[in-house]
Amino acid sequence: MNRTDHMAYLPDMEILMESTIMEQVLARREEYDYRRYVAEDIRVALSKDNRTLEDFGALLSPAAMPFLEEIALKAREETRKHFGNSIYMFTPLYLANYCENSCVYCGFNRCQKIRRAQLKAEEIEREMRSIADTGLEEILLLTGESRKMSDVHYIGEACTIARRFFKMVGLEVYPMNTQDYAYLRECGADYVTVFQETYDSNTYETLHPDGRKRVFPYRLNAQERALRGGMRGVGFGALLGLDDFKKDAFATGTHAWLLQRKYPQAEISFSCPRLRPVTNNGVIGGSLLHESELLQVILAYRLLMPFAGITVSTREHAHFRDNVTGIAATKISAGVSTGIGGHQECQEETGDDQFEIADTRSVSEVYSAMKERGLQPVMNDYVYV
Amino acid sequence: MLEGVKDSFILGGREFTSRFILGSGKYSLDLVRAAIEDAGAQMITLAVRRANTNASENILAQIPEGVTLLPNTSGARNAEEAVRIARLARELGCGDFVKVEVIRDSKYLLPDNSETIRATDILAKEGFVVMPYMYPDLNAARDLANAGAAAIMPLGAPIGSNKGLRTKDFIQILIDEIDLPIIVDAGIGRPSQACEAMEMGVAAIMVNTAIATARNIPAMASAFKKAIEAGRTAYLAGLGRVIEKGACASSPLTGFLND
């Protein structure tokens, strides 16, 4: 197949000429050698109030593994300091699963033979009403990455409807230009999460053979464009396991850290998905992480940026999610359906799921589970102004 | 308190005998009421953004009658946002008191004094009882007073840090120079630090994280109450001076006049 240059922007893609964030992230990722850390580096990192990227690198290294319990204790202390026992609840709403990309690890990949669907305005409203009835006040809107099927105005309309039912609206959609983000902010969106998947540009190139998503730098700079467009917060995440997960976690933290320095008001959050078995796993060269390794990554994010929001995916089992929530995570989804049109009772999904979820609990079940652990579920902590 | 001395302070036309302003964030809603009672607090802060909920568990339902609500504008990144949040607080029925917080730094959560002054100016004109959270700077405090603030709320240390009175010398300057109640708002981590601030002459103390992160929240609220009262009494009683290096002859330099 004749592949395009994945480092070259397409003509309509905005370039942030003066920004060096990407170059810095990639250079630091390249330099990061997790084998050089020793126990003393971990002790130093744990003893600090304000940690550097160097400390973060140490906490992600194999030398940190014997300290996992101490790291968890420190992480819990930081989480408590910044969030107390609050735990924010939300649910994702998949608006569409049309996609123009062929990411080899994804269930929505355009070559997958799945049922495709897109919610119309009245269906969006019905779905949102039934989600709001569960008591949730924060929603995350997702689409497959098809600008043709789910254009910016379609997403904007969904934001406008969401504003009527919810107090906080997040987006997890394809990367776009600053002015598009500004438009969606006007429509009511508050934060934008973009998964870089992997920060290794060669692996990225292999896994994204075509489509707009193939353009690596345009995706990597999405958060910066979103902030320039006026978004309040931005979320980061690598799909851990696609490439060397320590390096990808290091790059994810570095990316967030550098952007927060450049845009000090930005609210930062991390999502922590890891590769789970799907039909296509055979063609991916990465490796699956153990739970202990995933926990190590989450704890390192917490200690690097104690004020950041951290979400644990429904790809993880309830046992893992609930425990991590008491230590480092601050946000948990509930009542999740990754299909299209799956939130109303007696309503059959019209589109297939992106991935299988491991935690299928309802909003009230998660709410009770949090209360039992001494945590205070919070439906809203935000005012759109 | 000293016998026979009535000790209270006035804010927004209301008289307060408790000098402990309790925060309501970061802990379970079902403990809020117990914390207020054990703190003996007459004023409690709450984040408008958190009170603005339809959830069955709403913080507003946990606050006993007679306790003055002090809604804060947390989440505001500039003066305009703070003003809008304050107005929303009024619409939600939270009264006319407002603690102005303007923060455009998500890492340290340090307040932006200049935006805070602008917001204070607008809100005071709209009839709010404005209590601005600020970085302890004398010039900014004067501007806040001129803008119509009802009190000044300098931070002792970064919010949530529990580090105590790191800005002590600058808070002392505000106490000495500003004719408004000075209320230490952030950073107080333990009762002894609250006591120390009260000894200096601050009008009141606002505490949240130190209580929220305690193992026993109501008990810690009670401990702070006692420390604040002790510090206040010490201030009123007049602290003796500290003799730094051993005993001090009564007049080492001017004694010759009596020779």
Token look-up 């104690």 returns: A306
d(CA A223, CA A231) in angstroms, rounded, equals: 9
For B6-30, what is each residue's pLDDT tens digit?
A: 789 999 999 999 999 998 888 888 8
Identify the band that residue A194 occupies on the pLDDT scale cut at 50, 70 and 90. Answer: very high
Identify the band that residue A279 occupies on the pLDDT scale cut at 50, 70 and 90. Answer: very low
DSSP label of B71: E
Of the candidates A374, A357, A292, the residue with the CA atom closest to the CA atom of residue A107: A357
Identify the band that residue A127 occupies on the pLDDT scale cut at 50, 70 and 90. Answer: very high
For B53-91, what is each residue's pLDDT tens digit?
A: 777 777 888 888 888 989 999 999 999 999 999 999 999
Q: How far is CA A291 from CA A68, A295, A317, A323, B140, in A?
A: 12, 6, 10, 12, 50
Q: Which residues of A touch B50 (CB under 8 A)?
A: 378, 380-381
Domain that holds residue B32: 9-258
User: Is there a contact between A385 and B85 if contact means CB atoms under 8 Å apart?
Assistant: yes
Domain assignment present for B29: yes
**This prediction's pTM:** 0.89
d(CA B97, CA B46) in angstroms, rounded, equals: 11
The count of domains in chain A is 1
Domain assignment present for A281: yes
Residue A280 has pLDDT above 70, yes or no: no
Main-chain dihedrals φ then ψ at residue B22, nearest 5 degrees = -95, 140
CATH of the domain at B73: 3.20.20.70
Determine whether B225 is an active site residue.
no
CATH of the domain at A49: 3.20.20.70
Average pLDDT over residues A341-369: 78
Q: Residue A87 forms beta bridges with which residues? A: A377
- Report the chain A residue with the minimal C-alpha distance to residue B31: A376
In the sheet that holds B20-22, the strands lie side by side as B153-154, B129-134, B97-100, B68-72, B43-47, B20-22, B204-207, B183-184
Q: Residue A236 forms beta bridges with which residues? A: A194, A270
For A212-239, what is each residue's pLDDT tens digit?
A: 999 999 999 999 999 999 999 999 999 9
d(CA B23, CA B204) in angstroms, rounded, equals: 13
Identify the band that residue B245 occupies on the pLDDT scale cut at 50, 70 and 90. Answer: low
Domain assignment present for A19: no
Catalytic residue among B99, B107, B163, B225: B99
Q: Residue A62: what pLDDT? A: 97
Range of lowest pLDDT (A281-295, B77-91, B140-154, B211-225): A281-295
Domain assignment present for A169: yes
Contacts 24+ apart (CB under 8 A), A319-323: A320/A291, A320/A294, A321/A359, A322/A369, A322/A370, A322/A373
Identify the band that residue A349 occupies on the pLDDT scale cut at 50, 70 and 90. Answer: low
d(CA A341, CA B154) in angstroms, rounded, equals: 51
The count of domains in chain B is 1
Domain assignment present for A330: yes
Domain assignment present for A24: no
Tell me, what amino acid is at A145?
E
- Spell out the SS3 assignment of B164-183: CCCCHHHHHHHHHHCCCCEE
Q: Are strands B14-16 and B9-11 parallel, antiparallel or unpaired?
A: antiparallel
User: Is there a contact between B75 and A382 if contact means CB atoms under 8 Å apart?
Assistant: yes
Q: Residue A276: what pLDDT? A: 73
Average pLDDT over residues A132-148: 91
Domain assignment present for B4: no
Domain assignment present for A174: yes
Domain assignment present for B130: yes
Does residue B45 contact residue B99 with C-beta atoms inside 8 Å? yes
Domain that holds residue A243: 39-378
Write the residue in B25, B55, B85 that is nearest to A379 by C-beta: B55
Does residue B34 contact residue B58 with C-beta atoms inside 8 Å? no
Q: How far is CA A173 from CA A72, A87, A131, A181, in A?
A: 32, 24, 20, 11
For A16-28, what is each residue's pLDDT tens digit?
A: 999 999 999 999 9
Domain assignment present for B210: yes
User: Is there a contact between B213 and A81 if contact means CB atoms under 8 Å apart?
Assistant: yes
User: Is there a contact between A135 and B56 if contact means CB atoms under 8 Å apart?
Assistant: yes
- Report the chain A residue with the minimal C-alpha distance to residue B210: A81
A·B CB contacts under 8 A? 81
Domain assignment present for B1: no
For A250-274, what is each residue's pLDDT tens digit?
A: 999 999 999 999 999 999 999 999 8
d(CA A217, CA A221) in angstroms, rounded, equals: 6
User: Is there a contact between A85 and B52 if contact means CB atoms under 8 Å apart?
Assistant: no
Domain assignment present for A240: yes
Quick one: B57 exposed, middle or buried, by C-beta within 10 A (0-12, 13-18, 19+)? middle
Residue B167 has pLDDT above 50, yes or no: yes
Quick one: B139 exposed, middle or buried, by C-beta within 10 A (0-12, 13-18, 19+)? exposed
Q: Which residues of A touch B158 (CB under 8 A)?
A: none
In this prediction, what percent of chain A has a pLDDT beyond 90?
73
Question: Which tops the pLDDT comparison, A78 or B249?
Answer: A78
Domain assignment present for B22: yes
Candidates B30, B45, B48, B53, partner chain A, best to mutate (most A CBs within 10 A) = B53
User: Is there a contact between B106 and A378 if contact means CB atoms under 8 Å apart?
Assistant: no
Write the residue in A260, A381, A385 that is nearest to B84 by C-beta: A385
What is the distance in angstroms between the Cα of B16 and the nearest Cα belonging to chain A? 28
Main-chain dihedrals φ then ψ at residue A303, nearest 5 degrees = -75, -25
Domain assignment present for A22: no
